[in-house]
Structure 1
């Protein structure tokens, strides 16, 4: 004997599945649109990182400078780091942000960093004279550092986090869509389990 509650339960279940399917499809669609450029960029730069022997766009330039800081770079015997950094940045067009600064009784040092870019200044505390070395690497190194998020700043860090979030949404909603469709459910589960097994085996082999 069929319970009167069973049709309503079945109907509610079908309605829930239909709503979940619609939501997953919409999220999957827009996540894929937003993630397209991120997928292209991180896929291409990942391949580049995996082949360090590739030399295109890998030219490196180095420049060395010397000079003396203007009066006022110290206040009360302490280095005015902001004024010192901006003086050097203005004189030589330095890029990036200050990543490190320190000093002792004899010498102060100041470093600027950006993707594939490094500028290091060493300053004599006695008279403000300095030497500056600037190293700029090529396009391949820039792309590699952007892929890793190295010395790219807070804004690029947000780009990486958001890209990862959208890719996660893309993968989860795609998996949900596959599970909700009866024709693809079995294949989706077999593929997911098989892929997870292969990845775990490769991770174990690499370790």
Structure 2
């Protein structure tokens, strides 16, 4: 509190300090991630800004002899987890962890989807020739950012980033509301502006969205 400012009553001063502290901490901790999600949310609302071009790469791999036996012993039909040996060999070659991933088996081929943000891919293993055709599609970094915003094919760790941002933003908003509450008496415009922020989206929804 600046020197010379009037002292607040004990309880009110304590809560104002707490709200200000938490508002500052959560704002600083979530600032960069919040900017990222705000920017990518704008891009998702204007998909024409995301370039449609894509880079496609293909390669053909020959399974080593030990894995050919694993392939021969794999099921002839159904959707099942890819055998660990095959997953361990393919993962570094396609830059996607495949342990536990589901694959589609039939008597001639094994199909494996390669989910990734900003693109997609697939592996088709020919059971007779023991070769794997790998096809990877990579789109622009804006498409990658948009997929991360949605959490699309973003792996096991990224949802924790989204959850942490949601919690941080909630604490930021609640502590900001506490600061508003503390200063509202001296700032008459506080509640009309707050009510307007609540009412405007509801009005727009009722006028232009709600059927």
Query: How much does 1:75 deviate?
Result: 6.7
Pair 1:60 & 2:54 matched: yes
Aligned to 1:106: 108
CA RMSD, Structure 1 to Structure 2 (Å): 2.3
Paired residues for 1:188-203 under 5 Å: 188-203=190-205
Kindly state the Cα deviation for residue 177 of structure 1 after the two structures are TM-superposed. 0.6
Write the mapping of 1:73-92 to structure 2, written as runs, cut at 5 A: 73=67, 74=70, 77-78=73-74, 81-91=83-93
Contact residue 115 and residue 153 of structure 2 kept, 8 A:
yes
Aligned residue for 1:36? 31
TM-score calculated relative to the size of structure 1: 0.80
- TM-score, length of structure 2 as denominator length: 0.78
Structure 1 residues without counterparts, runs of 5 or longer:
1-13
CA distance in 2 between counterparts of 1:49 and 1:68 reads 40
Return the offset for 1:127: 4.0
CA–CA distance in structure 1, aligned partners of residues 146 and 164 of structure 2: 19
Write the distance in 1 (CA, Å) between the matches of 2:203 and 2:88: 51
1:140: Cα distance to partner?
1.1
Secondary structure at the aligned position of 2:35 is classed as: helix
- Unaligned residue ranges in structure 2 (runs of 5+): 1-8, 76-81
Q: Aligned-pair distance for 1:144?
A: 0.5
Cα distance between partner residues in 1 of 2:205 and 2:154: 28
Aligned length: 190
Tell me, in whole angstroms, the C-alpha distance in 1 between the residues paired with 2:28 and 2:54: 36
User: What stretches of structure 1 move > 4 A for 4+ residues in a row?
Assistant: none
